[in-house]
Chains A and B, each alone.
Chain A
Amino acid sequence: MTSQDTTGLTAAEASAELRRTVARLFGRSLHIRTLDTGSCAACEQEIRLLAAPHYDLNRLGFFFTPAPRHADLLMVTGPMVRAFENAARKTYEAMPDPKIVVATGACALGGVYQPDPFTHGGIGGTLPVDVWIPGCPPSPLALLQGLLVAVGRLADKVKDLDFSLNGTPR
């Protein structure tokens, strides 16, 4: 990347700088607002389990908040039904900057529903997604890893996986 912006940073430097800022601001305390855009509630069940004693997300500095105005991270489930699109945009706009959007579950990633008159079949076209968490539903461990990736405390591991069994004894 060679594109220069007004601050004289290249795109790669700006992205590294943004990652450092997010880690500094959110690394130890992050408030999460969940948003259900038409999911079957399996993802909500797993998100609820994050607060249970076994996973205990508070120990990592994550907290749930009922108000988007208090939230740093929007955790979106479901395939974005068209009836909810306006509310989803308003929720996103109500959050203070900087903000992170996490697409949670196969529906939100565009896997289960195709676009049709009732649903967009994924949230990518409506909200600017920063982290994608696959799974149907994603287990609480996968959600924890996704949250830690979102704040820059764990690496994006799936980028280097090829999902082929070559060389693996069967």
Chain B
Amino acid sequence: MPLWTLRGLRRGVVTTRYPARPEPSARLLPTPPAFQPDVLTRDLADRLVAVCPSDALARDGDALVFDVGACTACGRCQAEAPEAAASSGEFELAATARAHLIKRIPLGGRPA
């Protein structure tokens, strides 16, 4: 018998309480990144676009266009620029329109 079954029996619950209660294990999930507009410059944005393997990032003038729907939460942008990207921690991402998943992040950083 798997250990989690015994642990669940001891604590009296094996089934998650989600959505009535938050699920504690949700913080362990890989989640799409959130970006720090203050440090994003055009150069940095272009570097992030270049490392993104699933075309989730694009640069449109002075904005970074982030398609959350295309993001695979691989973490390459966070490895490339830890000061500019970090896990958002958001897993409740279901959208009723595709356009809701496309985010524009302004580039607020000064060019070096």
- Please give the residue numbers on chain A whose beta carbons come within 8 Å of chain B beta carbons, in ascending order: 53-56, 59, 106, 109-112, 114, 124, 129-136, 138-139, 141-142, 144-146, 148-150, 153-154, 156-159, 161-166, 168, 170
Contacts and interface: CB of A to CB of B under 8 A. Distances in A.
Q: What interface size band does chain B fall in?
A: 35 or more
Nearest to B38: A166
Contact of B14 (A54, A142, A144, A165): A54
Contacts of B94: 131-134, 142, 145-146, 149-150, 154, 156-158
Nearest to B94: A146
B93 A111 contact: no
B78 to A, nearest CB: 12
Interface string B3-27: 0100010000011101100010010
B27 to A, nearest CB: 11
Classify the interface of chain B: helix, strand, loop or mixed. loop
Contacts of B86: 165, 170
B44 interface: no
A110 B69 contact: yes
A55 B19 CA distance: 10
Which 5 A-B residue pairings sit nearest by Cβ, starting from the closest? A111-B70, A136-B72, A146-B94, A109-B69, A159-B100
A149 B19 contact: no
B56 to A, nearest CB: 6
Nearest to B5: A53
B110 interface: no
B71 A106 contact: yes
Contact of B36 (A129, A131, A166): A166
B37 A164 contact: yes
Given A56-B15, A149-B94, A158-B90, A106 B70 contact: yes
